[in-house]
Amino acid sequence: MSIPSFVIGIAGGTGAGKTTVARLVTENVGESVTRIPLDNYYEDLSHLDIEEREEVNYDHPSAFEWELLREHLRELLEGRAVDMPQYDFELHNRKDETVRVEPTDVIVLEGILALYDEAVNDMLDLRLYVETDADVRILRRIQRDVIDRGRDLEGVIDQYLSTVKPMHEQFIEPSKKHADLIIPEGANSVAVELLEEKIQAEANGGETRTWERLDAEGDAKDVN
Ligand code: CTP
């Protein structure tokens, strides 16, 4: 068990390639990396029936249990394990079982609104925003939702137009201003290689973080 030395947030619209970037940049960090999908922190909706759950706006910040996420990040940063919820996209709800997550050198929080919450942002050492064209993102989303998640095409299109797209414009895209780096076109190899090197160096650097965020005057801000 270790005190995490580098915490990364990866945000971006649906289908932007966040998961791929998260996997590639931490590929060589081995076992000392923990991935936290923001999806696991969707609110518990057990009080609603499936039809009601299908109607929920899953792209609005209110769909997430931010307090639990903040608490889990704080625990991990202090070197304590947490029981992370798991999410079921078919049932639109949290699963009954949780997964025990031990603190590791590198932690990666990944999701549409990973850079949305101020308290969460304060805990991140590196904030990335993956920017991919909307047409590419929607094509990927259709493929994933229809083929992998067994949803019908009409429903996917309705959801995209009624909530996914407007929420992207209202909350996700504006969260880009919190990013330290914007990665164009998802997993572009130059960005991935540079990040991979940086992350490996931080992971191997022990418990002290060497990363400092500077304010407009060039003074170090207290990011930890
Ligand atoms: N979502 C959904 N049904 C739910 C819960 C979430 O359709 N019950 C959708 C939300 O509409 C949201 C999306 O899940 O837009 C968030 O996941 P997304 O970012 O698309 O997935 P990743 O695979 O993590 O993204 P990427 O392709 O960038 O890796």
89 C-beta closer than 6 A to ligand 1: yes
Q: What is the mean pLDDT of the chain?
A: 91
Which of 14, 188, 192 has most ligand 1 atoms within 8 Å of CB, for mutation? 14
Instruction: Look at domain 6-202 and name its CATH class.
Output: alpha beta
Strand-pair partners of 106: 6, 33
What b/e sequence results for 10-38 when a residue is b if at least 16 CB atoms lie within 10 Å of its CB, and e otherwise? Answer: bbbbbbbbbbebbebbbeebeebbbbbbb
C-beta separation of 203 from 106 below 8 A: yes
Determine the average pLDDT of the residues in 142-168. Answer: 95
- pLDDT for 186: 73
Q: What is the number of other CB atoms lying within 10 angstroms of the CB of residue 150?
A: 9
For ligand 1, the distance from its centroid to the CA atom of residue 89, given in whole angstroms, is 9
113 pLDDT above the threshold of 50? yes
CA–CA distance, 36 with 33 (Å, rounded to integer) = 10
112 C-beta closer than 6 A to ligand 1: yes
Complex confidence, ipTM: 0.95
Nearest atom within ligand 1 for CA of residue 110: 24
